[in-house]
Amino acid sequence: MKDFGLKKLYYSISEVSKLTGLEQYILRYWETEFDQLKPAKNRAGNRIYTNKDIKLIIKIKELLREEKYTIEGAKKILLEGGSIPTKVVSEPKIREEAAISKTKEHVTKEPSLKEDLEEIKGFLLSLQQQLK
């Protein structure tokens, strides 16, 4: 895990991908599913994530991958107030949590392409229903 050294106000999608151990396309997909996850964009149109966004991503990842909630179940948990931990988590702590989470994935089970495709399938089905 790369240590970015400086605390930053904003992180690029590639940095967030490395910090959280999630592919960039998953981060973009989750933005469409979770209303709370709306990173700002810079003048060039690139996503810029805050520490709050990263904490939310880690929470979503925990709900979906570790606690095995569906996307709808995770949305419900987040709407009921489980969106972001109330304690202040420093940026190095986020890196530590992401590293631990990534290590757990390698030890237990790497998220499969099948799981990722199931998430995308759910999104496409909901999109299809909205278009009807």
pLDDT computed for residue 99 by the predictor: 54
Q: How many residues does the chain have?
A: 132
Residue 43 contacts residue 10 (beta carbons within 8 Å) = no
Phi-psi region of 2 (alpha: psi -120 to 50; beta: other; left: phi over 0): beta
Is the pLDDT assigned to residue 80 strictly greater than 90?
Answer: no
Domains of the chain, by residue range, sit at 13-131
Question: Across the strands, what pairs with 48?
Answer: 40
Q: What is the pLDDT of residue 107?
A: 44
Sequence-ordered list of residues with C-beta below 8 angstroms from that of 84, at least 6 positions apart, any chain: 52, 55, 56, 59
pLDDT score recorded for residue 116:
67
Q: What is the pLDDT of residue 2?
A: 46
**30-77 per-position pLDDT tens digit:** 999 999 999 999 999 999 999 999 999 999 999 999 999 999 999 999
CA distance 5 to 91: 10
pLDDT beyond 70 at 92: no
Q: How confident is the model at residue 97 (pLDDT cuts 50, 70, 90)?
A: low
CA–CA separation, 83 and 104 (whole Å): 22
The highest-level CATH class for domain 13-131 is mainly alpha
pTM: 0.58
Q: For residue 47, what are its two tokens?
A: 């996503």
**What percentage of residues in the chain have a pLDDT greater than 70?**
69
Nearest to 58 by CA among 88, 28, 14, 102: 102
